[in-house]
Structure 1
Amino acid sequence: MRRTGTTRRGALTATGAIAMGAVLAGCGGDDGRAGPEKSARPGARTAADRSPAEVSLRAAARSVSTALFAQYEAVVAAHPETAAGLTPLRDAVRAHITALGPGDTLGLVRTRPGTGGAGAAVRELAAAERRAAASHTEALMKAPPELARLLASVAAAASAHAYLLTALAKETKA
């Protein structure tokens, strides 16, 4: 008789899809309109209104996320079999970089994947996501409210990514 019901893989996939939907919905917000007719949140500050400390915090958080994005790129390039599992997470990290502010640093950071197999590379990514979550959490303590909310969201997403990557590493051949 065939087994029916929820499997661990199905539950993780559903959880990941829900988490990614929530993260991407939170990071989005561009309704496609441009110019003066685009409505901004009441009380939202523009880049010119930011203090030097906030600009510095944003740049540091963007740098952490950019390094993480580069690590995803390196792992996908070195282990193409991981692309299906890593691409949605990598795309979410790209959205976080965009949400943290302007800059053209996506192509500037280069990393090399570890010497191990695909499973080890995914485990290294999980550890990098944990470090990114810790860095964003630490930064939000010094951030103004609007940036603190964004950093909290990005840190939560990084923690969710670390969880999903840990599960993916167990399923990936070592």
Structure 2
Amino acid sequence: MPWTLPSRPSRRSLLAGAAGAAGAALLTGCSGGPGTADPDPAVSLERRMRASSVRDSERLLERYDATAAAHPALAERLAPLRAAVAAHTSALSSSGASDGSAAPSAPAAAPAPGAGPAVSGEPVPPKPEEALAALADAERSLAESRTVALAGAPGELARLLASVAACGAVHAYLLTPTPGAAS
């Protein structure tokens, strides 16, 4: 059987790219040294970046909840991905302190069935495959923005953002149907 070029990236190449992004984050996170300027701006930057990341994750959770409510048949398929996004929200919301005193954020309650528009204001597409594609686009977009944010993030936050971005890229892949595959 002749080998043909796949129409989209393979899972292996997607994960290899995510690993490369994580490696770049590790290198970026190790650039601070003893001659670093006042640490207060870095702490403030980290807090702002964490708060923004938490808001983004909470909006993504709202999209998952609205999609599951609008398309109950997808709820079981979306549950593990939503749980991962909730775990990311919790990890990002921690203050980064080693005492573990930061409380994780509680998962958002699912909207009532038939709610239609997502809480974030974006409507849930009426067809299940379109709803999955919209979630994949949201995951992909957020993963890309987090990858871009790595360059300016302090060390530990950069590593966390790289991990969450890689997971978001995998979610986008899992939400996108494979051409020719049986559903």
TM-score when normalising by structure 1: 0.64
Q: CA RMSD in A?
A: 3.0
2:175 aligns with 165
When residues 99 and 53 of structure 1 are mapped into structure 2, their CA distance, relative to the original with a 3 A threshold, is same
Q: Quick check: 1:72 aligned with 2:81?
A: no
Shift of residue 158, structure 1, vs aligned partner: 0.2
Gaps in structure 1 of 5+ consecutive residues: 1-14, 20-47
Q: Quick check: 1:101 aligned with 2:93?
A: yes
2:155 aligns with 145
Distance 1:157 1:105 in 2: 20
Q: Quick check: 1:124 aligned with 2:134?
A: yes
State the AA in 2 paired with 1:151.
Answer: L
Task: Give runs of aligned pairs for residues 76-87 of structure 1, distance below 5 A.
Answer: 76-87=68-79
1:52 aligns with 44
Would you tell me which structure has more helix in proportion to its own residues?
A: 1
When residues 59 and 171 of structure 1 are mapped into structure 2, their CA distance, relative to the original with a 3 A threshold, is farther
**Contact 2:50–2:92 under 8 Å retained in 1:** yes
When residues 171 and 120 of structure 1 are mapped into structure 2, their CA distance, relative to the original with a 3 A threshold, is farther
Shift of residue 83, structure 1, vs aligned partner: 1.0
Structure with more contact order per residue of length (Cα contacts < 8 Å, sep ≥ 6): 2
**Contact 1:113–1:121 under 8 Å retained in 2:** no
Distance 1:99 1:171 in 2: 35
Gaps in structure 2 of 5+ consecutive residues: 1-10, 16-39, 95-103, 110-117
Shift of residue 113, structure 1, vs aligned partner: 3.8
Shift of residue 104, structure 1, vs aligned partner: 5.3
1:23 aligns with none
Distance 1:171 1:73 in 2: 26
**Contact 1:136–1:152 under 8 Å retained in 2:** yes
Aligned positions, number: 127
Measured against aligned partners, the alpha-carbon deviations of 1:71-126 in whole angstroms (never above 9, x if no partner) come to 00000001000011100000000000000015758649823542421111010000
